[in-house]
Structure 1
Amino acid sequence: MRLPGARWYGEQNRDDEKGLLQMVIYTVLPPEQVMGQEGEPPQYFTVDMGGRAFVMELVGGQARIVRLLSVDPRDYLRPEWQPGRMVGFTIPGTELPSRPSNPSCLPT
């Protein structure tokens, strides 16, 4: 005799109302890391520098290297190009205007 809702080992555990498969995840990682974070997905862009392509993500005024695309295997050994590395980055056209050398022309 089975209890209502009980399943034998090996049977699929399916929520009949929604048709969703249920499962248990055993992990030492926090749920946010396993399930992902809600919010906007990261915005990736590609930068080509000297025959190497970098996939980057803009994070707080800096760019984080996500991926390096190169045909030279030595490029992957360079620590300054490793994924996760933060790089100073300026988007063309967004630079702050330089201050004039003569402070007397500044508005008061």
Structure 2
Amino acid sequence: MMLWSVIPEEQILEHFDKQQYNWMEAEVNGVKMLVEPVAEQPGYGRVIRLLCPDPSHYLNPNYQPGQTVCLAPSTMQ
């Protein structure tokens, strides 16, 4: 990481190692991703990043970081 600032690095990164994230791995429609559960919508998660090696999934706007996806298994056939 490169950081250009007049503020000392120790002050900027002071609590960096103490941050807590509520992220979890999930598979949605066969696409493995890192999501953050949405408190206001149980069963849904906000995409943090994709963990799948298939490049076509990165082009799908439904899986872009920040999008909300359903984490519950689909019951529709």
Q: TM-score range by the shorter chain?
A: 0.5 to 0.7
- Please report the TM-score for the alignment, with normalisation by the length of structure 1: 0.42
Look up the SS of the partner of 1:55 in the other structure: strand
Per-residue deviation, 1:50: 4.5
- Please report the TM-score for the alignment, with normalisation by the length of structure 2: 0.56
Aligned residues: percent identity? 32
**Residue of structure 1 equivalent to 2:46:** 64
> Structure 1 residues 70 and 42, CA, compared in 2 at 3 Å: closer, same or farther?
same
Look up the SS of the partner of 1:80 in the other structure: helix
**Residue of structure 2 equivalent to 1:76:** 58
Could you say which structure has the greater relative contact order, defined with CA pairs below 8 angstroms and 6 or more residues apart?
A: 2
Aligned length: 60
2:6 counterpart of 1:24: yes
**Residue of structure 1 equivalent to 2:25:** 46
Per-residue deviation, 1:58: 1.2
Find the aligned partners of 2:36 and 2:51 in 1 and give their Cα distance.
Answer: 15
After superposition, the CA RMSD in angstroms is 3.2
- Runs in 1 of length 4+ with deviation above 3 angstroms? none
Contact (CA 8 Å) 2:32, 2:50: kept in 1 or not?
yes
> Structure 1 residues 65 and 51, CA, compared in 2 at 3 Å: closer, same or farther?
same
Bigger radius of gyration: 1
Unaligned runs of 5+ residues in structure 2 are 73-77
